Amino acid sequence: MTSRRLILPLLLASLLSIDVQAQHIPNSRSWYLYLGSQDEVRQYVLEVGKGPTVVVLHGGFGAEHSYLLDPLLPLTNKRKLVFYDQRGSLRSPAGQLEVSLPKMVEDLEALRQQLGEEKLVLLSHSMGGAVAMAYLAKYPDRVRGLVLTGPVLPIPLSDDFKKAPQDPGLLTPAEQVQADALAAQYWQKQGTRLAAVQAKFKAMPAAASTEAARATPGYYRNLTEQWRMQFASVNIYHADRWPGIEGGKAFYSQAVADAVLKDPAALAKQFETFRPALQAFQGPVEVIMGDEDYCDPGGYVWGKVLKTVPRGRLNLLPEASHSYWLDQPRASRAALTAALDRVFAASRGK
């Protein structure tokens, strides 16, 4: 089992980034949370908006928060969103020995204390859901509610990211076959999407050598656009929207992913705590995802998980993939707004 095989889809999920500085966002402030006995980690925090607090957990491991600004900033008209870069990520540098999922959980607890919140409402994307569920498992009495979007499953990661995770305790053999079939169908469709956008793309003419190709004007622009097509085919149902993808590889740290995944057995044990924590939790658990999300095509496994969660709810967005807001901007905004409204209404006993 290698960390790169495990992290590839999560890496792709987290490279969509927009470099927006805090001073360009109305009603915002940014600051650093010092962590560790020697302040060895300084975690970047960005607060935006006014109202009840929602802490946002970005994907990765190793990505950063800015790719979530576009889809989530419209929610700040009646919420205060707290974004932050998890330790080791872009604005929160840390050595590999300082990076692990348990430490990320403690970072979130330190952030809760600094925010002065008795309980947290957590809104996550992709692998950020693992941080949210790990925090719930460790501090269940400090969570008000969860809104998990495009979330990784609460099951230990599969050796092969193109197959559904294996969990005999949740899925019967027949159900596991169905989950694997849905995953295979997803990756077949991904190949079709990629071929369709590449067919419309004007590639660079062949060069006599690599050196000659690199010296050709426009070569690296072309290379970047091909990468964005690949990204879009995995993360966007409407892959022809690839020109709208911003950012790139500088926003992602493979070293962070490698550090978290360096002990797969220990990580698997943590993931095994997620489903019991969800089942014991009495607060709302809202899952929002596209019906073509590689984390769980069709929401098949999440649907079974949430049947055992007291206040679990699944909202599948049609014709949407992992970056669901690019496929369904209006529907995703409505879904996020409604989910947060339900979470805060529940906390008021309604």
**pLDDT of 173-199, one tens digit each?**
999 999 999 999 999 999 999 999 888
Amino acid identity, residue 29?
A: R
CA dist., res. 253 & res. 336, Å (int):
28
* pLDDT for the residue numbered 6: 45
Q: Is 127 in a helix, a strand, or coil?
A: coil
CA dist., res. 334 & res. 70, Å (int):
14
* pLDDT for the residue numbered 20: 45
3-state SS, one letter per residue, for 64-91: CHHHHHHHHHHHHHCCEEEEECCCCCCC
Question: Which has the closest alpha carbon to 61: 152, 159, 160, 162?
Answer: 152
* pLDDT for the residue numbered 347: 76
Question: Is this structure's pTM higher than 0.85?
Answer: yes
Structural domains of the chain, ranges and CATH numbers in brackets: 3-161+246-347 (3.40.50.1820)
Residues of the chain scoring pLDDT < 50: 1-23
Q: Is 35 in a helix, a strand, or coil?
A: strand
Tokens, residue 67? 């790719």
User: Which residues 6+ apart lie within 8 Å of 13 measured at CB?
Assistant: 59, 63, 125, 126, 127, 150, 234, 235, 322, 323
